[in-house]
Amino acid sequence: MQLSSSSPFAGGVLSPQYDRAKLKPGIVHIGFGAFHRAHQAVYTDTALAASFGDWGIVGVSLRSSEPIRDLKMQDHLFSVIARDASGAEPRVVGSVVGGISAANDRDGLLVLLADPAIRIVSLTVTEKAYGFDPASGGLDRRHPAIAADLVAPGAPVGVIGFLVEGLSRRKRAGLSPFTVLCCDNLPTNGRVVERLVLEMAEAQDPALASWIAAEGAFPCTMVDRIVPAATDETRRRAADLLGVEDKLALDTEPFMQWVIEDRFVSGRPEWESAGALFVADVEPYEKMKLRMLNGPHSMIAYLGQLKGLEYVKDVMAVPDYAERVRQHMAAAALTLDPVPGIDLDEYREQLIERFSNPTIAHRTKQIAMDGSQKLPQRIFAAAVDDLAAGRDAAVFAEATALWIAYVMQNPQIEDPRAAELCQASAAVDSADPSGCFLALPGLFPPRLAADRDWRDLVNAALNLELRAA
């Protein structure tokens, strides 16, 4: 039996506390993956139970059609199982009311984006999908989806192209824009997406860009919940717990956090009822999370991959490695301005505990992918600030060395810049082994690449790793 509205759930499963039959769509979410289901969909589910409204979510997958097919077969229901050493808390989420696979139904998605009922378009598409050029801060015109959508804006393939075409149709129809809510781990994520959307709109029609700039909203957000990619084992354990099969089942941790700038064009769900924090400026929270959580996460991923440790929890179980992680977090904390309402020492210890959660099987390989897209905001930006404060940025040099060693030892890495990284690996000069990597265009901040002492630290740590291999 599969998950459906009429499934008899095993006892103790929290299910939607509102009338799903009355729920109408108000949000389109692009990137219908595990993170969205365990995060924004859960917040919305709780908000709907607290104060119902027309805020059902239509999940969109830009590439794979499988999750949308599974979603439809399950009456748009799925489970999210929060686990830690004290046990498992399953809940069935009811906030998703529809699904579209953009690869199969581009027109369906464009019609929906221009529907007045849709007031928010939220996004979790991963860093690499945006087509952001770190050197200019604007569109990367060599990014395949950006290049295609600049040439054929009426038939978009990428996320920025869909947003611009959706907004353009709304303008023509005399509607308000939707709010674009970016939930990816990019610094000032709302502002980045706004700039990309405006640049693409400008290329098409300057009046469209002015309208979006004047009427639109792109609040920044900080999102957090550890959600490993599901496996057959996840689904089997979920079936045992739920008493029914759920193809979209997920394991996650009990912790979740969402900090959002409260700037919406036409309202929003009452996400604060689920614990979301609305603030005037998200940047301190984003920086804290990128540098104290995601930076160490990447460090753990490369360390784990180099030492043959499959999961984050395995790395954390080695006392020396856990201490390295703590030191990295402490050094990252020194690069931050005070974060309102947060004690950074407590935050660090909570992160150590979260990473050590023995029930969460988060693969180091999963986190290791796309390093070129992640490290600039997680590691390099912190290193620049640390050097500017007169410190040596040593932990960031060590994390960088782990990444380079990982790249050199894995010719098959998943990364949009894999080909260049492979070339750099092949050209390594033993006198300056990080040199070819530091010289890659638009990757390391110029001030960092030019710092001789820092480069020496990277090379020393890299030589240690390469000798240990």
Positions that interact with ligand CS2 (CB under 6 A): 185, 224-226, 294, 297, 366-367, 374
User: Which residue minimizes CB distance to ligand CS2?
Assistant: 297
Distance CA 126, CA 63 (A): 13
Question: Judged by CB, which is closer to ligand CS2: 118, or 226?
Answer: 226
Cβ at position 223, least distance to ligand CS2 in Å: 6
113 or 316: whose CB is closer to ligand CS2? 316
C-beta of 143: minimal distance to ligand CS2 in Å? Answer: 20
What is the nearest approach in angstroms of ligand CS2 to the Cβ of residue 362?
7
Q: Give the shortest CB-354-to-ligand CS2 separation in angstroms.
A: 9
User: In Å, how far are 127, 136, 197, 255, 282 from 277, measured between CA atoms?
Assistant: 23, 31, 26, 14, 10
Q: Considering the complex, what minimum distance in angstroms separates the CB of residue 40 from ligand CS2?
A: 12
Distance (Å, rounded) from C-alpha 161 to C-alpha 147?
10
Q: Which is nearer to ligand CS2, 4 or 366 (CB)?
A: 366
As a residue count, the chain comes to 469
**Given the complex with ligand CS2, which of 110 and 223 has the nearer CB atom?**
223
Can you tell me the distance from the alpha carbon of 399 to that of 458, in angstroms, rounded to the nearest whole number? 8
Question: Around 337, how many Cα atoms within 13 Å sit in the side-chain half-sphere?
Answer: 8
Closer by beta carbon to ligand CS2, 178 or else 258: 258
Minimum CB separation from ligand CS2 for residue 297, in Å? 4
- Of the pair 33, 219, the CB lying nearest ligand CS2 is at 33
**CB closer to ligand CS2, 156 vs 228:** 228
Closer residue to ligand CS2 (CB): 212 or 226: 226
Which CB sits closer to ligand CS2, 115 or 184? 184
User: Measured at the alpha carbon of residue 163, what is the angle toward residues 264 and 103, in degrees to the nearest 5?
Assistant: 135
Residue nearer to ligand CS2 on the CB measure, 380 or 454: 380
CB of 253 to ligand CS2, least distance (A): 9
| Residue with Cβ nearer ligand CS2 (224 or 385) | 224
CB of 294 to ligand CS2, least distance (A): 4
Three-state SS across the chain? CECCCCCCCCCCCECCCCCHHHCCEEEEEECCCHHHHHCHHHHHHHHHHHCCCCCEEEEEECCCCHHHHHHHHCCCCEEEEEEECCEEEEEEECCEEEEEECCCCHHHHHHHHCCCCCCEEEECCCHHHCCECCCCCCECCCCHHHHHHHHCCCCCCCHHHHHHHHHHHHHHCCCCCCEEEECCCCCCHHHHHHHHHHHHHHHHCHHHHHHHHHHCECCCEEEECCCCCCCHHHHHHHHHHHCCECCCCEEECCCCEEEEECCCCCCCCCHHHHCCEEECCCHHHHHHHHHHHHHHHHHHHHHHHHHCCCEHHHHHCCHHHHHHHHHHHHHHHHCCCCCCCCCHHHHHHHHHHHHCCCCCCCEHHHHHCCHHHHHHHHHHHHHHHHHHCCCCCHHHHHHHHHHHHHHHHCCCCCCCCHHHHHHHHHCCCCCCCCHHHHCCCCCCCHHHHCCHHHHHHHHHHHHHHHHHC
Q: How far is the CB of 185 from ligand CS2 (least distance, A)?
A: 5
Cα separations in angstroms, 64 against 105, 255, 365: 12, 28, 21
Q: How far is the CB of 171 from ligand CS2 (least distance, A)?
A: 34
Query: Which residue, 199 or 224, has its beta carbon nearer to ligand CS2?
Result: 224
For the CB of residue 100, give the shortest distance to ligand CS2 in the complex, in Å. 24
CB-based contact 380:324 (threshold 8 Å): no
Name the minimum Å distance from CB 155 to ligand CS2: 31
